Homo-oligomer: A and B are copies of this chain.
Amino acid sequence: MKNTAILLIDCPDRKGLVAAISSFLYTHGANILHADQHQDNDLKLFFMRIEWALEEFDLDDASFRRLFQPIADRLEMRWRLEYSAARPAMAIFVSRQLHCLADLLFRQRAGELPCRIPLIVSNHEDAADLARFYGVEFHHVPVEASRKAEAEERQLELLARAPVDLVALARYMQVLSPRFVAAYEERIINVHHSFLPAFGGARPYHAAFERGVKLIGATSHYVTAALDDGPIIEQDVVRVSHRDQIEDLMQKGRDLERVVLSRAVKWRLENRILAYANKTVVFD
């Protein structure tokens, strides 16, 4: 895979945005590989993801930043420049259920997830041998109700030391404090085992079973201070029937959780997600 540049932009919508961006890139020899854009017509916002080959592009990273900034200033853009060859560092937090962890580790090794995984953190010991098999540093950080702040302190130290760009909560069953969340804004992805906003909170499979729904779901989302309420990145569902007991719901749900979390992580790593107004734009 050749390296490519990816530019992510959001700004107030106005005329001439695409012309300005594409002309700038053309002037510097960019061969555009993908471009996608979105407008929110209510909020008058513009979003764009544009990816180009670097072979004949005549700007290096510093020059791009220097020359593009005036355009961005004029058009009030927020922007990020990323490279497909980058391998950001992702930590995985997990509790006792290991299916999402195992899935992410396997995918990373198989080349599906363009990242490094330097760190696994858990409030239990169960994940230690999987971590060892995949050669990932494992830290057991117990979380006692009365000493939660202390545990978070330790976790934040581990993340800072690595350092990591992204945290995947792979069925990590502890609520993170607003302070923790703020430190990694739009960089923590959780999987919730229900079709949010239905069945937020604890024991969603039990709640779904009680309510007698005919489909169960899973949701991956950015973590915000409000529990189970961050911008949704991906959701999926599977059919259940009266024959399915709670255990069946849980098992069917595990397959959803894996897929829904790994898609969100992959899209994040490919710089396809823009979050705004507690929603996401996912460029495909």
Which residue numbers of A lie inside 8 Å of B, CB to CB? 15-19, 22-23, 25-26, 29-39, 41, 56, 98-99, 102, 106, 110, 112, 133, 195-199, 211-215, 217, 231-237, 239, 241-243, 245, 251, 255, 259, 277-282, 284
Contact = CB atoms under 8 A, between A and B. Distances in A.
A212 B231 contact: yes
A110 B133 contact: no
A214 to B, nearest CB: 4
Contacts of A280: 212, 242
Contacts of A34: 39
Nearest to A26: B19
A284 B22 CA distance: 21
Contact of A199 (B197, B232, B251): B197
A106 B110 contact: no
A26 B37 CA distance: 16
Given A98-B110, A237-B237, A242-B282, 9 more contacts: A15-B30, A15-B31, A15-B32, A19-B22, A22-B23, A41-B245, A211-B232, A212-B278, A243-B284
Contact of A110 (B30, B99, B197): B99
Q: Specify the main secondary structure of chain A where it touches its partner.
A: mixed
- Copies assembled: 4
Most B CB atoms within 10 A — which of A18, A56, A259, A278? Answer: A18
Contact of A19 (B19, B36, B196): B19
B18 A35 contact: yes
Nearest to A17: B32
A117 to B, nearest CB: 16
A106 B26 CA distance: 47
A18 B22 contact: yes
Contacts of A278: 211-212
| 6 shortest interchain CB distances as A-B pairs | A212-B279, A198-B198, A19-B26, A19-B22, A18-B22, A214-B235
A186 to B, nearest CB: 14
B212 A235 contact: no
Contacts of A16: 26
29 contacts: A15-B31, A16-B26, A18-B22, A18-B26, A18-B35, A19-B25, A22-B22, A33-B39, A34-B39, A35-B37, A36-B37, A38-B242, A98-B106, A98-B110, A99-B106, A195-B195, A196-B198, A196-B211, A196-B213, A197-B199, A211-B278, A211-B279, A212-B279, A213-B232, A214-B235, A215-B237, A241-B284, A242-B279, A242-B282
